[in-house]
A and B are shown apart, each in its own frame.
Chain A
Amino acid sequence: MRRFLRPGHDPVRERLKRDLFQFNKTVEHGFPHQPSALGYSPFLRLMAIGTRSGAIKLYGAPGVEFMGLHEENNTVMQIHFIPDQCQLVTLLDDNSLHLWSLKQHSGASELREEHRFTLKGPPGSPPSATQITAVLPHSSREVLYLGTESGNIFVVELPTFTLLEDRTITSETVLQRVPEDYCNRRSCELVEALREHPKNPDQILIGYSRGLIVLWDLQNNKVTHHFLGSQQLENLYWQRDGSKFISCHYDGSYTQWPVSSDNRQPEPLENLVPYGPFPCKAISKIYWQTTKNGVPYIIFQGGMPRASYGDRHSISVVHGSQQTAFDFTSRVIDFFIIFSSEPTAEFDDPSAMVVLAEEELVVIDLKTAGWPAVHPPYLASLHCSAITCSHHVSNIPLKLWERIISAGSKQNIHYSNMPWPIDGGTNIAPDPPQRDLLLTGHEDGTVRFWDASGVCLHLLYKLSTVRVFLTDADPNDNMNTLGEDEWPPLRKVGTFDPYSDDPRLGIQKIYLCKYSGYLAVAGTAGQVLVMELNDEDAEHVVDHAEADLLQDQEGYRWKGHEKLKTRDGPVRFEAGFQPFVLVQCQPPAVVTSLALHSEWKLVAFGTSHGFGLFDHQQKRLVFVKCTLHPSDQLALEGPLSRVKSLKKSLRQSFRRIRRSRVSSRKRRGGSGNASEVQEANAKFDQDALQEMELAPVQRKIEARSAEDSFTGFVRTLYFADTFLRDSSRHCPSLWAGTNGGTVYAFCLRVPPAERRMDEPVRAEQAKEIQLMHRAPVVGILVLDGRSTPLPEPLEVAHDLSKSPDMQGSHQLLVVSEEQFKVFTLPKVSSKLKLKLTALEGCRVRKVTVANFGSCKTDDYSENDLAVLTNLGDIQIISLPFLKLQIRYPCIRKEDVSGIASCVFTKYGQGFYLISPSEFERFSLSTKWLVEPRCIVDIPEVTSNNHVHNKSGMENAARKSRSSGDHAEDERKPERLMEHALLNDEKVLKEIQSTLEGGR
């Protein structure tokens, strides 16, 4: 009756589980999906990005990042930092204002929402009366000026958002002294821009949409100057000394206005249409930056000739005779200029331009000739070509790391050397525990190598496989080669390029051996490339081999795409990973699995037709095995014919996705907010329930049969040195698992190293296991005599792993989508199983072995299986006893692409795409946790005090507080230095200067 007892609740094990496992979503890497607003604080040197789903993200020095989410999930329209404060105000599209603060809490700063406010007009007034169009946080830090659609400007007190009704600037009072004929034509205008006078905080410039601009005196509550613009206004900008300002207009023109103390009616100094004379698009934002040498920088967004360049997303920089129109591949959301913010400085001396485009962040160095781009340390556009697969390699040896970085640095020569200009805050996170690489494969045939060790996902190196093939696109087609007198002087910037020359180039599988530097990459058209890391450029011929996976199968016709044409003759490759052999699968179907054994110099690959083994040392195909069921026509015909049968289900899932969007926004970014998640779930369930009653969907209940389609699809390949035939002799082996629940095992004979080139590698099928439940095999693993998974190739040779126990008997773990099964070896008998689907109704999507260390004791660690199910849950299952340890909800089950993109690391972390451009990083481990931890200190305001004498009290308060934190400050430098050692000197200097500045 033992089996009726409840599963043991061993208190010791329960305690250990608490020490081992913990689920956290730690940080979002990449570029925010659908950005909608940009803000910058020159004081904090922090940048803020708002998104259409209501998230705001703050970025400073690398590693300094904060994230907040508006409960409303509405689009963030505007972001304004409060001058000289750790505070910012956001305006959402529901017309609500939100005050956020960076506060220190247990040693690190946190971003929190403090107050919210919605401007309410008198009863009965139309909503437009209070629709906020412009926000001006006054330098006194006490009030916000809110321009509205009605033309009225409301004043609210900070931080309480109390409306100061007596200080409202109504459009009537403004219009009082405006010449009759002018104001008759222009009534009821909305406030387009509010700008405070750079020298005199009592004066603000108000720009109305129809063209009227007034200078308002806050002390006397009256207009001091009227500027009668004739064109619809887009934006305003003050010159640094306050003697002039510039306005930009809908017709693509900008105008300079003088501000004199006399009472004359001001006339425009200069009115210019930079890309005239033909009709131009609006200039929506403009900067006028003064320099020491007297030649200003005029930087404006838009203004392109409407007919021929109206579709460009451009920002033009004009500096004397130099003029460049930076041409972005996606819509420009907003931009700002980093210039000298010292109030005492006489000139702006702009150093960099930061542009937030819809799909990427581009920073232009304005100090270096030619205005090169600056390589951002974060906010990488992961999706510059769509991500098709990812591969994570933990704990990269320093040597390989350095070689990859050096290969990458040779690619980045056209970038500016300028240190990253947005450098606010201090990163106090502990050093990343190890060097980790995340490799992403892209649709355009590239593989990007990301430094995934820390909070900043940083591009190290980009590998392109395109050179091996002949494609329609000419590689020399450079979009930047515009003639000297080309007008407008457009220059393409940024890396976002969603268009692939040829979808067959897409990368499907990646396998990197971190010890040898061998890399295998496989793609959509059955191409498998084996590469080697070379520190120099080289020109060589890539060897070709064909693997006919259909072999003796007769009478089949592949109706899918053709294989890629290869380049004949030697090909020039830049330093980095250089392909030396290409194995082309026939038919050229998508490569569905790939394994590389760098010690045996073998690469195995599988498609929907079968799998093969290639000896990349001798460049010889060892064997191929066709896994196709004779009746499986679908698999043969190729991907095109599949479209029809998938159409319906696709349409259905699209419908489902659309439905889930609403509730998904609620969950986005809320890292581990359980109640929120539940709410969203509940809502979704309700929606789903309603949907159900309308149109019942039915599901067929049928056992899988051998005749089902795609049973031959090879899902997993695995190399192991184990006891395949008899228990006395172990040998190299290759294991393959198919969609139809079959496992094939091949016994390999690899000649010893000294005769490696002379004797062929031989392979012989030793075993074939058919799982009766016929679910797809998603993982195969051999456990050694100590029930530890076998080490990776070369791991033992590099002294990084204990050699496997070859004395005790080995076990085979087969993971199908439905079950985990352990078999004995060499005689296959079933030992244990866990029927996951039968028990829980979920299916295995991803599985990996992860090592979990205890957060309590350094010397304890264990291997478990980390499993992601089709419901988006993550489960940890113990080895070798297959007991469920713990389960965490992680990804919404409707987020099919998120689940498909998930990749686990070897130490219990993982990544999945939350949008095409963002990876969410999560951790299952208590020990390895990479999350942002940073401090933003208010720099001492000294020179500003004479302007804002009211802030004296606050400063005193701040000082007393910082002295209270002294003990903490003592501790900080040590940790900071520690961190700096890992990074480059630049960071070290920055940190030191920050510290010195703080004292």
Chain B
Amino acid sequence: EFRRFSLERSKPGKFEEFYGLLQHVHKIPNVDVLVGYTDIHGDLLPINNDDNYHKAVSTANPLLRIFIQRKEDADYSAFGTDTMTRKKNVLSNVLRPDNHKKKPHIVISMPQDFRPVSSIIDVDILPETHRRVRLYKYGTDKPLGFYIRDGSSVRVTPHGLEKVPGIFISRLVPGGLAQSTGLLAVNDEVLEVNGIEVSGKSLDQVTDMMIANSRNLIITVRPANQRNNVVRNSRTSGSSGQSTESSLPSSTPNILPNLLQGEEESDEEDIIIEDSGEPQQIPKAAPTSESLESLTQIELLHESTQNGFLPSSEMNLNHSAGSISMEYEVRDPNHKSLEEDGTIITL
């Protein structure tokens, strides 16, 4: 069934209006549908919020081809592409086929329902040969999915080159968080874990540190493959991921140090069940005292004392300029059940 209609390109209006229009045009006022469009590369991309709606309208050349599917029998894997190399904006949603096979009922929804799964951070302060990767474990059932091993590495020291013990990634579990981000690879040398250098630490110590930080793991690696390194302030080749990575638009003028403030805390929200009632997150006591201020000094590098809560994704987006690459995974909207599982904290 095809319909053809026109829109004012300069004033596309809101997504809700557009959605209503579509329902009206197709005479399906009460049917939930998924809206998609093909972009200039022929990729099928979703339209589900104002931003990607505007993007879609602006890229129409001149025709915007829109696909509508019933939500119940929507084929999610139709979205996304293997050919896409550039992200249109930071909001471009990457919906990997394997993900959707696992969770067929995921609904593409509003940005606050998206959450980051990984990012490269602190590009500006790190040597080009290093990469600081952040894995957002919380909120996902995916295993971190990697192994580390002992090994030896060569360091430049005042006495010349020296062989020193080092920690390396030894294996990536297929389908795990680490592998799916494409930011970590076998034989990458681990240099830091959440800002703490690993040199001089044993494999067991580093294992414990990583597990202790597993809900919000930041690993600084020296990639084994140095060809995909970020070259600062120039067009980059992006990281070496196999899937749907995109490079930063070359126009990005400068990269801010990444301070995803407040998020450090979010991994640590313990749950309290009072009198066998509903599980609740344990709030943070008001940090009024001097002692608390000083305590945080011994905590993690980028720790914020002010905001104990996970900021909304929108807030994330505002701060994400420093990220080279950011992927989003659609969160399972059914968080009630997750809470009951006790595996994931949600807000």
Quick check: is B40 within 8 A (CB to CB) of the other chain? no
Select from chain A the residue with minimum beta-carbon distance to B207: A699
Quick check: is B292 within 8 A (CB to CB) of the other chain? yes
Residues on the B chain within 8 Å of A689, using CB:
152, 165
Interface 1/0 per residue, B276-301 and A, CB below 8 Å: 10010011110000011111111110
B144/A702 in contact, CB under 8 A = yes
Quick check: is B342 within 8 A (CB to CB) of the other chain? yes
Output the least CB separation between A741 and chain B (Å).
Answer: 8
Quick check: is B271 within 8 A (CB to CB) of the other chain? yes
Residues on the A chain within 8 Å of B285, using CB:
823-824, 829-831
B297/A834 in contact, CB under 8 A = no
Quick check: is B8 within 8 A (CB to CB) of the other chain? no
Known: A698-B147, A818-B212, A824-B285. Is A766-B207 also a contact (CB below 8 A)?
no
A884/B298 in contact, CB under 8 A = yes
A823 to B282, CA, bound (A): 9
A701/B150 in contact, CB under 8 A = no
Known: A828-B282, A830-B283. Is A842-B297 also a contact (CB below 8 A)?
no
Known: A829-B282, A832-B292. Is A766-B275 also a contact (CB below 8 A)?
yes
B211/A701 in contact, CB under 8 A = yes
Interface 1/0 per residue, A525-552 and B, CB below 8 Å: 0000000000000000000000000000
Which residues of A in the span 699-713 have a Cβ within 8 Å of any Cβ on B?
A: 699-706
Quick check: is B161 within 8 A (CB to CB) of the other chain? no
B203/A775 in contact, CB under 8 A = no
Quick check: is B274 within 8 A (CB to CB) of the other chain? yes
A843/B208 in contact, CB under 8 A = yes
Quick check: is B201 within 8 A (CB to CB) of the other chain? yes
Interface-forming stretch among B63-71, B80-88, B262-270? B262-270
B201/A701 in contact, CB under 8 A = no
B144/A701 in contact, CB under 8 A = yes
Quick check: is A799 within 8 A (CB to CB) of the other chain? no
* Choice from A698, A725, A831, A842 contacting B208 with Cβ under 8 Å: A842
Quick check: is B143 within 8 A (CB to CB) of the other chain? yes
Residues on the B chain within 8 Å of A5, using CB:
297
Quick check: is A696 within 8 A (CB to CB) of the other chain? yes
Quick check: is A7 within 8 A (CB to CB) of the other chain? yes
A701/B147 in contact, CB under 8 A = yes
Residues on the A chain within 8 Å of B145, using CB:
702
Known: A769-B282, A841-B205. Is A698-B342 also a contact (CB below 8 A)?
no
Quick check: is B89 within 8 A (CB to CB) of the other chain? no
Output the least CB separation between B239 and chain A (Å).
Answer: 20
Quick check: is B231 within 8 A (CB to CB) of the other chain? no
Quick check: is A3 within 8 A (CB to CB) of the other chain? yes
* Choice from A697, A705, A772, A842 contacting B269 with Cβ under 8 Å: A772
Quick check: is B54 within 8 A (CB to CB) of the other chain? no
Quick check: is A8 within 8 A (CB to CB) of the other chain? yes
Which residues of A in the span 760-803 have a Cβ within 8 Å of any Cβ on B?
A: 765-773, 775
Select from chain B the residue with minimum beta-carbon distance to A814: B270
Known: A829-B282, A829-B284, A831-B292. Is A841-B209 also a contact (CB below 8 A)?
yes
* Choice from B149, B297, B305 contacting A699 with Cβ under 8 Å: B149
Known: A2-B293, A701-B207. Is A829-B283 also a contact (CB below 8 A)?
yes
Residues on the A chain within 8 Å of B215, using CB:
703, 772-773
Interface 1/0 per residue, B150-192 and A, CB below 8 Å: 1110000000000001000011000000000000000000000
Residues on the B chain within 8 Å of A688, using CB:
202
B275/A839 in contact, CB under 8 A = no
Interface size on A, residues (CB 8 A): 60
Quick check: is B272 within 8 A (CB to CB) of the other chain? yes
Residues on the B chain within 8 Å of A507, using CB:
none
Residues on the B chain within 8 Å of A3, using CB:
293, 296-297, 299, 303-305
Known: A699-B147, A823-B282, A841-B201. Is A773-B268 also a contact (CB below 8 A)?
yes
Known: A703-B144, A828-B282, A834-B298. Is A772-B207 also a contact (CB below 8 A)?
no
A704 to B305, CA, bound (A): 26
A821 to B265, CA, bound (A): 13
Output the least CB separation between A86 and chain B (Å).
Answer: 45
A871/B205 in contact, CB under 8 A = yes
Known: A7-B297, A832-B295. Is A692-B211 also a contact (CB below 8 A)?
no
Quick check: is A331 within 8 A (CB to CB) of the other chain? no
Output the least CB separation between A777 and chain B (Å).
Answer: 11
Chain B contact residues (Cβ within 8 angstroms of A): what range? 35 or more
A769/B298 in contact, CB under 8 A = no
Quick check: is B206 within 8 A (CB to CB) of the other chain? yes
B205/A700 in contact, CB under 8 A = no
Output the least CB separation between A9 and chain B (Å).
Answer: 12
Quick check: is A129 within 8 A (CB to CB) of the other chain? no
Which residues of A in the span 1-17 have a Cβ within 8 Å of any Cβ on B?
A: 2-3, 5-8
A772 to B282, CA, bound (A): 10
Output the least CB separation between B289 and chain A (Å).
Answer: 9
Quick check: is B260 within 8 A (CB to CB) of the other chain? no
Quick check: is B107 within 8 A (CB to CB) of the other chain? no
A767/B274 in contact, CB under 8 A = yes
Output the least CB separation between A747 and chain B (Å).
Answer: 9
B272/A768 in contact, CB under 8 A = yes
A841/B147 in contact, CB under 8 A = no
Quick check: is A45 within 8 A (CB to CB) of the other chain? no
* Choice from B210, B271, B283 contacting A772 with Cβ under 8 Å: B271
Known: A692-B151, A765-B275, A770-B271. Is A835-B207 also a contact (CB below 8 A)?
no
Quick check: is A883 within 8 A (CB to CB) of the other chain? yes
Quick check: is A693 within 8 A (CB to CB) of the other chain? yes
Residues on the A chain within 8 Å of B170, using CB:
696, 698
Residues on the B chain within 8 Å of A766, using CB:
274-275
Residues on the B chain within 8 Å of A772, using CB:
215, 267-271, 345
Select from chain A the residue with minimum beta-carbon distance to B137: A703
* Choice from A775, A837, A838, A893 contacting B300 with Cβ under 8 Å: A838
- Which of the listed residues A766, A823, A832, A843 has the most CB atoms from chain B within 10 Å of its own CB? A832
Residues on the A chain within 8 Å of B126, using CB:
none
Quick check: is A469 within 8 A (CB to CB) of the other chain? no
A6/B146 in contact, CB under 8 A = no
- Which of the listed residues A693, A841, A870 has the most CB atoms from chain B within 10 Å of its own CB? A841
A704/B211 in contact, CB under 8 A = yes
Quick check: is B313 within 8 A (CB to CB) of the other chain? no
* Choice from A8, A696, A706, A837 contacting B149 with Cβ under 8 Å: A696
Quick check: is B315 within 8 A (CB to CB) of the other chain? no
Output the least CB separation between B101 and chain A (Å).
Answer: 22
Select from chain A the residue with minimum beta-carbon distance to B194: A838
A893 to B212, CA, bound (A): 19
- Which of the listed residues A3, A692, A704, A824 has the most CB atoms from chain B within 10 Å of its own CB? A3
Quick check: is B73 within 8 A (CB to CB) of the other chain? no
B206/A841 in contact, CB under 8 A = yes
Residues on the A chain within 8 Å of B303, using CB:
3
Quick check: is B273 within 8 A (CB to CB) of the other chain? yes
A703 to B144, CA, bound (A): 7
Output the least CB separation between A727 and chain B (Å).
Answer: 14
A700/B147 in contact, CB under 8 A = yes
Quick check: is B32 within 8 A (CB to CB) of the other chain? no
- Which of the listed residues B211, B215, B271, B279 has the most CB atoms from chain A within 10 Å of its own CB? B211
Output the least CB separation between A748 and chain B (Å).
Answer: 15
Residues on the B chain within 8 Å of A659, using CB:
none
A424 to B297, CA, bound (A): 56
Quick check: is B92 within 8 A (CB to CB) of the other chain? no
Which residues of A in the span 881-923 have a Cβ within 8 Å of any Cβ on B?
A: 881-884, 893
Which residues of A in the span 815-831 have a Cβ within 8 Å of any Cβ on B?
A: 818-819, 821, 823-824, 828-831
22 pairs, A vs B, C-beta closer than 8 Å: A2-B294, A3-B299, A5-B297, A692-B165, A696-B149, A697-B203, A698-B148, A698-B149, A699-B149, A701-B207, A703-B144, A767-B272, A770-B342, A771-B270, A772-B270, A819-B212, A824-B285, A833-B268, A838-B300, A839-B209, A841-B205, A870-B204
For the A-B complex with A699-B203, A770-B273 known, give 12 more contacts whose Cβ atoms are closer than 8 Å: A7-B297, A8-B297, A692-B165, A693-B151, A700-B147, A702-B214, A770-B270, A771-B270, A818-B208, A835-B212, A882-B295, A883-B295
What 3 A-B pairs come out closest when comparing CB atoms?
A: A841-B205, A703-B214, A837-B212
